[in-house]
């Protein structure tokens, strides 16, 4: 439909410089530059390196997105940009660029929440999101369960990790197994050759005593330590470490907890749609287990394709388009880069 809004989205909260362009729910361009290789030797994202990489990548990525979509900045109805949460310096680069482009081209600007954008991106693949829905966002920087009543207004956090994020646990375990960075995709591959039942790793915050205070929260730091202890014991005994079995058993522990809590959140809130997003949503076992468990309770699982699960500009454009279509007022031009942005507002108010 030609009268649907044409929205450009800018994402720079971590190590991906993403610029996406959507019309309504249709994805026209999703240009991405990643600095992940520059962080690999440190085993994690180095904020200053990420900020500098965004600065270098933004203009060429913008050009590529506009070319791919076959539009100019003048054609765009609104610019959306990740205001937070994320790395302060990295966010600042995207927010400053978005303000510059909005001012120069006289376009409204929407500062949006990164987590809400991870939910909104699914509309590009599966159409409008039934509300209420439960969203589980699992990435290198966040692990949350959210109740999505109205994606234009605010989202209710149900729970979150109390220590490491799920992706961070994958990255740390991959590191201690000497597998490289980022660890998620490597462990996912290695796990296919292993037995997920070979080692009984702990399931954090699932004991009856945790039900009251942490029913929908996650904890992965104990699991990571358990894997480290198990590997150390093997090495001390001079025995080889069965990397595939450790990968599979670790992955099973993470996916077991994530899916059990997500389904519990749906059932407790009487919700029959579960959206999964964030880099860890690309995990093959997580997808299968979520489908399997959800089906038993008549819950539909929506997971965008892997390229849309990890950080990208399309997700920001998708949320922007949703806000424009709903008539939400744009943000003020002095909108902040807010590294600790909460979820009470999906976008920075005007
Ligand atoms: O959403 P994302 O691109 O960036 C943020 O952290 O915000 O997520 C990256 C994270 C990394 O920790 C990476 O190891 C993890 O997602 N990841 C995976 C898989 N692919 C990426 N974790 C498990 N299995 C995967 N297949
Ligand atoms: Zn993310």
* Contact indicator for 177, 241 with CB cutoff of 8 Å: yes
Residue nearest to atom 8 of ligand 1 (CA): 279
Q: What is the pLDDT of residue 1?
A: 53
Report which bound ligand comes closest to the CA of 278.
1
Report the atom number in ligand 1 closest to the C-alpha of 170.
Answer: 14
Distances (CA, A) of 286 to 44, 57, 267, 279, 301: 23, 32, 19, 11, 11
Ligand 1 test: best mutation among 32, 118, 310, most atoms within 8 Å of CB?
310
Residue-level pLDDT at 230: 98
> Cα(295) to centroid of ligand 1, in Å?
25
Please indicate whether residue 188, judged by its CB atom, sits closer than 6 Å to ligand 1: yes
Q: Does the beta carbon of 278 sit less than 6 angstroms from any atom of ligand 1?
A: yes
Q: Is 137 part of any known ligand binding site?
A: yes
Q: Is 14 in the pocket of ligand 1 (CB under 6 A)?
A: yes
Helix, strand, coil shares, percent, the chain, to 5: 45, 20, 35
| Domains by residue range for the chain, with CATH | 6-121+312-325 (3.30.420.40), 130-306 (3.30.420.40)
Write the residue with the smallest CA distance to atom 19 of ligand 1: 184
Instruction: Give yes or no for residue 186 CB within 6 A of ligand 1.
Output: no
CB of 311 within 6 A of ligand 1: the answer is yes
The Cα–Cα gap between 184 and 186 comes to: 5
How remote is the CA of residue 204 from the centroid of ligand 2, in Å?
Answer: 22
Q: Residue 157 and residue 216: Cα distance in Å, rounded?
A: 10
Asked if residue 51 belongs to a known ligand binding site, the reply is no
pLDDT of residue 85: 95
Question: Best mutation site among 33, 279, 287, 341 for ligand 1, i.e. most ligand atoms within 8 A of its Cβ?
Answer: 279
Residue closest to 233 by CA, chosen among 241, 223, 222: 241
The whole-angstrom separation of Cα 72 and Cα 334 is 24
Model confidence, pTM:
0.93
Give tens-digit pLDDT for 319-350. Answer: 999 999 999 999 999 999 999 998 888 999 99
Q: How far apart are CA 280 and CA 320, in angstroms?
A: 24
- Using only C-alpha atoms, the chain has a radius of gyration, in whole angstroms, of 20
What was the pLDDT predicted at 43? Answer: 77
The answer to whether the annotation marks 312 as part of a ligand binding site is: no
Q: Which atom of ligand 1 is nearest to the CA of 171?
A: 14
As a whole number of angstroms, the distance between CA 91 and CA 9 comes to: 13
Report the distance separating Cα 74 and Cα 224, nearest Å. Answer: 49
Residue 5 is predicted with a pLDDT of 95
* Ranges in the chain, pLDDT < 70: 1-2
Q: Is 300 helix (H, G, I), strand (E, B) or coil?
A: strand
């Amino acid at each position: 439909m030609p009268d649907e809004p044409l929205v450009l989205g800018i994402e720079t909260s971590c190590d991906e410089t993403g610029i996406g362009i959507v019309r309504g729910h249709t994805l026209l361009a999703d240009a991405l530059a990643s600095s992940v290789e520059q962080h690999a030797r440190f085993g994690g994202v180095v904020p200053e390196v990420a900020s500098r990489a965004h600065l270098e990548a933004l203009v060429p990525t913008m050009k590529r997105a506009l070319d791919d979509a076959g539009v100019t900045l003048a054609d765009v109805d609104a610019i959306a940009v990740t205001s937070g949460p994320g790395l302060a310096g990295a966010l600042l680069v995207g927010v400053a660029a978005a303000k510059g482009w909005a001012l120069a081209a006289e376009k409204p600007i929407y500062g949006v929440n990164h987590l809400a954008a991870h939910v909104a991106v699914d509309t590009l693949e599966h159409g409008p999101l039934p509300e209420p829905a439960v969203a589980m966002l699992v990435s290198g920087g966040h692990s949350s369960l959210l109740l999505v009543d109205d994606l234009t207004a605010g989202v209710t956090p149900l729970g979150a990790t109390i220590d490491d994020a799920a992706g961070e646990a994958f990255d740390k375990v991959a590191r201690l197994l000497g597998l490289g960075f980022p660890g998620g995709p490597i462990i996912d591959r290695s796990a296919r050759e292993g037995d997920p039942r070979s080692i009984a790793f702990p399931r954090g915050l699932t004991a009856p005593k945790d039900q009251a205070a942490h029913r929908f929260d996650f904890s992965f730091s104990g699991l990571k330590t358990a894997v480290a202890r198990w590997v150390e014991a093997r090495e001390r005994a001079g025995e080889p470490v069965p990397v595939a079995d450790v990968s599979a058993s670790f992955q099973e522990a993470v996916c077991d907890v994530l899916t059990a809590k997500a389904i519990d959140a749906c059932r407790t809130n009487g919700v029959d749609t579960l959206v999964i997003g964030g880099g860890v949503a690309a995990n093959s076992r997580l997808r299968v287990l979520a489908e399997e468990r959800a089906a038993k309770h008549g819950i539909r699982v929506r997971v965008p394709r892997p390229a849309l699960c990890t950080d990208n500009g399309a997700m920001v454009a998708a949320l922007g388009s949703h806000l424009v279509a709903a008539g939400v007022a744009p943000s003020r031009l002095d909108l902040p880069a807010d590294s600790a942005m909460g979820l009470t507002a999906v976008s920075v108010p005007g």
